[in-house]
Structure 1
Amino acid sequence: MITNKVERWGTELMESESLSNSVQSIMDVIGHNHDVVLREIILGSTGRKAAIIYVTTIGSSEVINKSVLQPLMQMVAASDDSLSDQFKKRVLGTTIVLSELIETDSVAACIRNILSGNTVLIIDQISSYIILSTAHQEGRSIQEPKSESVVRGSREGFVENVSTNISLIRQRIKDPSFTMLQYHVGKRTERELIIAFIKDIANNQMVEEVCRRIETIDIDDAAESGFIEQFIEDNTFSPFPQIMNTERPDRVVAALMDGKVAILLDGTPFVLIVPVTLPMMLYSPEDSNERWIYSSIIRIMRYILVVVSLYLPSLYIAFISFHQGLIPTKLAISITSSREGVPFPTYVEAMMMEITIEILREAAIRLPKPIGQAIGMVGGLVIGQSAVQAGIVSPIMVIVVAVTAIASYTIPIYSAGIAMRLLRFFMMLAAALLGLYGIIMVTLLLLSHMMKLKSFGTNYAGVYVHYHPSDWKDSIIKYPLKWIKERPKLLDPKDKKRAK
């Protein structure tokens, strides 16, 4: 994609400059690079001089040779060649065999496009630069997303090329109101960023707010969409992720159909979706592909497991340390006998096991995949069994931590899972200090924070704050698809009807 938006090196004009001066104004900036090629040519029998500048490592030499150099060098002289405007029209209209080209007077635009893989054509006595689309970038092929696996659903995932990612969305949305706004972020890298939304659905104020926040980003290099997320989120100090990132085109399309906005950045397979709510973090694309009965059961189970992953260790600590009278007698005797000989308090025992699990989880991610799987499985078994035999932890603590770890893996969005793991440690600390009272206090603080938290003007608690009966049809229990006829009122979309 070629563009003439740039201001970094100024907007120098070349109306009175000769060919050599025009070439020199570009080469002075980027000519020190070994892969920058300057090729001076004669335009066939016209006798007019010209030059092309491109970068060999990211430009397509085959396209340049066949569609630019060959036709230009085979030009035949015409009677009106002395007229610069007529000659330029002939070059652009009948000579160059490319679908995309633009004219510009800006040296800055030329430099950016050359560094993006395009080619700049400079013709003697022509008072503008011609930018030709010849970019060619190597990248991996489309594969199944590794961070968001589903049993039933699309197997396509985003890649690092933003043009490919846009094509994956366009293949699924053939609506003329699908709109994309182009920006460039990073003062030195100037990565392409796309804001995508459906004009007839998305709320105008929300789109304007997204654009405003993007325009305020001032950084040398936005290397990944995580940089963008940290610059535009509402509350930097909140433990909850306020922007969703995904590798799945079907999830992005579903969000756009609801009236949300997607942010695509060149160089990363992770696309951002705004605004989001906490319930949305617990939904999987597979929920829409299965029948409503199955999806509802799985969602209810997912909510229960989120509660288990957040509260189970802290409740165990609270009951063992403060509220033994609430435990059934037989169970209390069994727990007491299993903890006989353990030298550490329950809180220390739980913290040691939780930290060990986190270490194993991190090691499994960083190591090569075959080794990582072995480390995760064998390491957990060996360390747990060895700790029990050594009398450092009790068997029931191993069970509690294992169930908690497995429950935390059921959260579909990785960033939401990290938030729950972080909050679990705060719950454990509160339980160790005040028992159930501490757990209740932390829970109230979290609920209060969640009720106040917003994501681009939308309440983070979602349907649990705003009572819209139609929105509850796709919350914890998913209604049959033919009953869900309206888009989420929480987003205030323009077109409120999903189905008639």
Structure 2
Amino acid sequence: MPVFANGDAGYPDTSNLEPRLEWFRSQLAHCSDIVIHPFTIGTGTACSLIYIRELFDYHDAEEHLLKPLIKECSSWNNDLSPLFIEHRLPSAGCRTLTAPSASMDWLLDGCGLLLIDGDSRMLGLSQTKFEKRAIMEAPNESVIRGSREAFVENLDTNLTLVRRRIRSRHLKIEQMTFGTKTRTSVVLIYLDDICPDSLVKEMKRRLACIDVDGVLGSNYLEEAIVDNPSSPFPQIQYTERPDTVSASVLEGRIGVMVNNTPIALIAPVHFFTLLQSAEDYYQPFIAATWIRWIRFVFLASSLLLPSFYIAITTFHPEMIPFNLLISVSSSREVVPFPALMEALMMEIAFEALREASVRIPKSIGQAVSIIGALIIGTAAVQAGIVSAAMVIIVSLTGIASFIIPSFDLGLSFRLLRFPMMLLAGIFGIFGIACGLIIIYVHMLNLQSFGTPYLSPIAPQVAGSFKDTLVRAPWWKMKRRPPTADAANRIRQKSGLRSWAEHSGEGED
């Protein structure tokens, strides 16, 4: 528990009620939502209940805690010491507090403080109350088949969603607090019989180095614990789906959940993991494999399609079929800009249009997208500013970037598209080849919490190709990915389809 800003300085060393109330008033001055409610118990002993309005459920505390206390204390003849015996408290969430700093932290968490004249100890009442968003469908990770639940901003609710899916005593949830001002709760989720101890220790070591005054989202932690923060590629996976977190934990990875945000982090992550969607595991394996191949094709298109167009039209027109070359040349005849400048203009305009459609109100976002894509594009072609072929190339590239399941990975390729276009405009196909080599070498040297980024392809891990380029049937994926310890790689027993042998399936 973090120490209050002023610690215990100035707190009166007395059991009298009024000096202690004055200390709390001075510490919480100019806070209009702080309520100090005086009342008496026993045979007239003065008490005060301190709480934050709208964070503390006063009516519940009054009905189920204060009234029983007042009734029980009436026969104690001013000896209120039994109040501070844990098993005598009517509520299991109550605590006896002695340190002012711990009491202040308890109060700021939304709990109540009960101060009694004649006793320096305090009672912490845990009847917290605050508004929270209902569980809804994940807006950015929707699926046709599968769960419709998504994380919300409340950490306890999110933990419940994971506990409902993994009902194992090996599921460990360790809580930490970050931010000297925000005191944000952060939890680590893992299975201690599957997740490597080295991964858990490394995650704790990196998190222990974080010392900030505020953590308002999971990205505050993500940027501080990644292996290579200067890399454009995401090295931690994020998701708002509890089934994705549960599946990752079952694979031997570790989840990080932050209070007040619906986004959970998962580490380590591999490049091929970011190309997988929750939909892959709810669809038949043949359809899921076909969809993955489509993703790989359009992943390459989102990075290379404009670059190849620039290189071919500028340096290698002989590679274009003659009839197509005539069509492309005629459309570019009135364009006053070279292919590189034309492509840069269109790509920047497309990025601006995409950002505008995200930031403006949703009620007019679709209209702006249609106006930008149709009217502006058509007018630019008719005015001779850009060619029709370039509009087609940029549109296909934009569609290809939307197919990538991970937004961060799609953003990485959107950023890399521009230097690839510059290399293509200066050196042609040779520049594209050099750019691809640089990207590949960088990805080979990239790691996520000590695991190779391109695993299990580079380096190759035997038996791990069943969930990369293809999605094998569940009854074929007997082993977990290589992030788990070798002794815990077995995910399921053999013979899941043993019924087929007894029914005669496959016999002549």
State the distance in 2 between where 1:14 and 1:164 align.
39
State the distance in 1 between where 2:283 and 2:215 align.
38
One of 48, 73, 87 as aligned partner of 1:93: 87
Counterpart position of 1:75: 72
Residue 53 (structure 1) aligned with residue 47 (structure 2): no
Q: 1:487 to 1:63 in 2, by over 3 A?
A: same
1:450: how far off? 0.6
**Aligned-residue RMSD, C-alpha:** 2.0
1:81: how far off? 5.9
Q: 1:485 to 1:81 in 2, by over 3 A?
A: farther
1:31: how far off? 4.3
Q: Deviations over 1:195-216 (max 9, x none)?
A: 1111111111111111121121
Give the letter for the 1:93 counterpart: H
Counterpart position of 2:26: 28
* Correspondence list, 1:345-384, <5 A: 345-384=338-377
Residue 140 (structure 1) aligned with residue 152 (structure 2): no
Counterpart position of 1:489: 482
Counterpart position of 1:418: 411
State the distance in 2 between where 1:356 and 1:7 align.
50
* Residue pair 1:9, 1:107 contacting (<8 A) in 2 also: no
Q: 1:175 to 1:328 in 2, by over 3 A?
A: same
One of 293, 308, 314 as aligned partner of 2:307: 314
Residue 441 (structure 1) aligned with residue 434 (structure 2): yes
1:8: how far off? 4.3
261-270 or 6-15, which deviates more: 6-15
1:493: how far off? 6.4
Residue 187 (structure 1) aligned with residue 180 (structure 2): yes
Give the letter for the 2:242 counterpart: P
Counterpart position of 2:501: none
Q: Secondary structure at the match of 1:299?
A: helix
Counterpart position of 2:259: 266
1:466: how far off? 2.6
* Residue pair 1:314, 1:428 contacting (<8 A) in 2 also: yes
Counterpart position of 2:496: none
> Where in structure 1 are there 5+ consecutive unaligned residues?
none
* Residue pair 1:58, 1:117 contacting (<8 A) in 2 also: yes
> Where in structure 2 are there 5+ consecutive unaligned residues?
494-508
Q: 1:211 to 1:330 in 2, by over 3 A?
A: same
Q: Deviations over 1:442-462 (max 9, x none)?
A: 111111111111111111112
Q: Secondary structure at the match of 1:242?
A: coil
* Residue pair 1:203, 1:494 contacting (<8 A) in 2 also: no
Q: TM-score, normalised to structure 2's length? A: 0.92
State the distance in 2 between where 1:87 and 1:374 align.
64
State the distance in 1 between where 2:184 and 2:347 align.
40
* Residue pair 2:111, 2:128 contacting (<8 A) in 1 also: yes
Q: Secondary structure at the match of 2:105?
A: helix
Residue 42 (structure 1) aligned with residue 36 (structure 2): no
Q: 1:412 to 1:83 in 2, by over 3 A?
A: closer
Q: Deviations over 1:322-347 (max 9, x none)?
A: 11122222222221122111111001
One of 170, 195, 203 as aligned partner of 1:177: 170
Q: Deviations over 1:252-302 (max 9, x none)?
A: 111111111111111111111111111111100010111110110000111
State the distance in 2 between where 1:394 and 1:21 align.
79
Q: Secondary structure at the match of 1:196?
A: strand
State the distance in 2 between where 1:103 and 1:383 align.
68
Q: 1:493 to 1:113 in 2, by over 3 A?
A: farther
Q: Secondary structure at the match of 1:362?
A: helix
Give the letter for the 1:299 counterpart: R
Q: Secondary structure at the match of 2:403?
A: coil
Q: 1:73 to 1:344 in 2, by over 3 A?
A: same
Give the letter for the 2:72 counterpart: M
104-113 or 260-269, which deviates more: 104-113
Q: TM-score, normalised to structure 1's length? A: 0.94
* Residue pair 2:2, 2:180 contacting (<8 A) in 1 also: no
* Residue pair 2:194, 2:485 contacting (<8 A) in 1 also: no
One of 3, 15, 18 as aligned partner of 2:16: 18
316-325 or 98-107, which deviates more: 98-107
Give the letter for the 1:325 counterpart: E
* Correspondence list, 1:39-438, <5 A: 39-45=37-43, 47-78=44-75, 82=79, 84=81, 86-89=82-85, 92-94=86-88, 96-438=89-431
111-120 or 313-322, which deviates more: 111-120
1:472: how far off? 0.8
1:19: how far off? 3.0
1:497: how far off? 1.3
* Residue pair 2:178, 2:215 contacting (<8 A) in 1 also: yes
Q: Secondary structure at the match of 1:52?
A: strand
Q: 1:475 to 1:121 in 2, by over 3 A?
A: same
State the distance in 1 between where 2:356 and 2:234 align.
23
State the distance in 2 between where 1:185 and 1:300 align.
42
1:73: how far off? 2.5
Count of aligned residue pairs for this structure pair: 492
Q: 1:14 to 1:105 in 2, by over 3 A?
A: farther
Residue 465 (structure 1) aligned with residue 458 (structure 2): yes
State the distance in 2 between where 1:380 and 1:299 align.
28
Give the letter for the 1:250 counterpart: D
Counterpart position of 2:506: none
State the distance in 1 between where 2:447 and 2:184 align.
28
Give the letter for the 1:43 counterpart: I
State the distance in 2 between where 1:405 and 1:449 align.
25
1:467: how far off? 1.8
1:106: how far off? 2.0
23-32 or 151-160, which deviates more: 23-32
State the distance in 1 between where 2:288 and 2:186 align.
35
State the distance in 1 between where 2:74 and 2:12 align.
25
State the distance in 2 between where 1:386 and 1:263 align.
48
Q: 1:5 to 1:237 in 2, by over 3 A?
A: closer
* Residue pair 1:160, 1:267 contacting (<8 A) in 2 also: yes
State the distance in 2 between where 1:280 and 1:114 align.
42
